């Protein structure tokens, strides 16, 4: 993972005309302190997000509808206020992004349709094997399945299901807003886009360790299994976080990462062991291999920045004189 310091540190030199240099504004030597401000801001956001889940005292498990509703409230409040942290960071460092804050955070109309469709298509290609497995194990045929998916009654039932709303709507939206849209603009100027892609998910992965508290509290498994599960979840979420950070930078939009996050929450981690024991394991494993191969082949073309217009984070780095950022082309 990226380390803070050495040649990896790059600080924007563009500041407001009426401001003193960044080192003076920060009251320190400059680049090093600016990066620590960025890291501290990201850490504060991560702690605020996780802490908001525990402001409500309850003896009920996390999947109880009453607990989910309360957490919706606190998480939405923290997520709504998270752009203020980026504003404060901008004021402390004196960095001029060259674009509006909302645009920098991926809220823009230019290129929104390919930004919504292509990353989701790319993610579905990666999950070709699990999708085949799901269709093989589904008792209904494709036509019946589509009728169920498109039926208004099915959507109405989903919208009243607190767990569905949490996993498919609230969690993807708020997590991508806080851990990608807010953190990447603060990390990229001091360490570059590449290191930021791998540093940002560390906050995201660590934020999921709070599940240990509830698993230990309700004795859901042995202590060893709980910590082993947490380590696996950290690894998985860190890899996924790096992927959605990559999508955010390459498309300049938040909608793609949110939709991909929602889709992955629905699919869960691929059931590779079940695929190895499946009655039709040969075509299924071929689907797994084909999905991974096509994903790697199409990763660059489907995230080509030229499909999405001007990229805000790349504009920010260009103003710093870093016009050769590899993720921008």
Q: Which helix (H) or strand (E) holds 69?
A: helix 65-93
The upper half-sphere exposure of residue 127, i.e. CA atoms within 13 Å in the direction of its Cβ, equals 21
Q: Are 62 and 215 in contact (CB under 8 A)?
A: no
Nearest one of 322, 183, 152, 163 to 257, comparing CA atoms:
183
- What own/partner pairs with CB < 8 Å and gap ≥ 24 does 155-159 have? none
The upper half-sphere exposure of residue 257, i.e. CA atoms within 13 Å in the direction of its Cβ, equals 30
CA distance 10 to 322: 9
State yes or no: is 208 an active-site residue: yes
State yes or no: is 318 an active-site residue: no
* Catalytic choice (22, 91, 208, 324): 208
Query: Residue 268: how many CB atoms within 10 A of its CB?
Result: 10
Task: Report the catalytic residues.
Answer: 175, 208
């Amino acid at each position: 993972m990226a380390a803070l310091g050495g040649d990896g540190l790059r600080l924007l030199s563009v500041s407001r005309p009426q401001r003193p240099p960044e080192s003076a504004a920060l009251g320190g030597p400059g680049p090093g302190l600016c990066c620590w401000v960025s890291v501290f801001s990201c850490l504060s956001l991560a702690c605020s997000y996780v802490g908001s889940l525990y402001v409500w005292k309850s003896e009920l498990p996390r999947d109880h509808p009453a607990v989910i509703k309360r957490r919706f409230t606190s998480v939405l409040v923290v997520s709504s206020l998270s752009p203020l942290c980026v504003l404060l960071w901008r004021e402390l460092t004196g960095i001029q992004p060259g674009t509006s804050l909302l645009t920098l955070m991926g809220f823009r109309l230019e290129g929104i349709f390919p930004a919504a469709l292509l990353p989701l298509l790319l993610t579905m290609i990666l999950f070709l094997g699990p999708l085949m497995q799901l269709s093989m194990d589904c008792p209904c045929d494709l036509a019946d399945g589509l009728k169920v998916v498109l039926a208004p009654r099915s959507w109405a039932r989903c919208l009243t299901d607190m767990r569905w709303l949490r996993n498919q709507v609230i969690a993807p939206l708020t997590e991508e807003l806080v851990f990608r849209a807010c953190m990447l603009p603060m990390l990229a100027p001091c360490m570059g886009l590449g290191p930021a892609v791998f540093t940002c998910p560390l906050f995201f992965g660590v934020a999921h360790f709070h599940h240990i508290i509830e698993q230990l509290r309700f004795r859901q498994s042995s202590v060893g299994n709980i910590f082993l599960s947490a380590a696996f979840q950290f690894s998985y979420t860190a890899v996924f976080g790096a992927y959605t950070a990559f999508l955010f930078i390459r498309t300049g939009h938040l909608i793609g990462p949110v939709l991909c996050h929602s889709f992955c929450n629905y699919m869960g981690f691929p059931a590779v062991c079940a695929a190895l024991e499946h009655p039709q394991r040969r075509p299924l494993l071929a689907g797994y291999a084909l999905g991974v191969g096509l994903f790697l082949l199409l990763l660059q073309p489907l995230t080509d920045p030229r499909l999405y217009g001007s990229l805000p984070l790349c504009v920010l780095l260009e103003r710093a004189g870093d016009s050769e950022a590899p993720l921008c082309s």
